[in-house]
Amino acid sequence: MSELSTQQCEACHVDAPKVSEEELHQLMSQLPDWVPEVRDGIMMLERVYKFKNYKLAWAFANKVSELAEEEFHHPAILLEWGKVTVTWWTHAIKGLHKNDFICAAKTDQLL
């Protein structure tokens, strides 16, 4: 279990700092199944989860949605047959904040 999963998201605002390159490498080492992606110039954290069928994927997507509401931090969730793609980033700063890594670690615990 990652220590990230025991932490809570903090309120984030437009002037909150993005993670530095050094922080990114350190945090990524705790989340080996996640991949940093850049879309439209915005760094995001993404993972694809695979399931045996649509119903299991759907149930997992619902759990991620519940987590998002609990943390008041909301990812992109793509639900497909046997697959859920979860993408975390902080909209307010248009990039990655430590909150994204905390939520990614908590997402992994939903399996």
pLDDT tens, 24-74?
999 999 999 999 999 999 999 999 999 999 999 999 999 999 999 999 999
What pLDDT shows up at residue 1?
40
Q: What pLDDT band is residue 10 in, cutting at 50, 70 and 90?
A: confident
Amino acid symbol at 103: C
pTM, full prediction:
0.95
User: Could you tell me the residue ranges of all domains in the chain?
Assistant: 18-108
CA distances from 100 to 5, 35, 41, 88, 93 (A): 11, 12, 17, 5, 12
CATH no. for 18-108: 3.30.1360.20
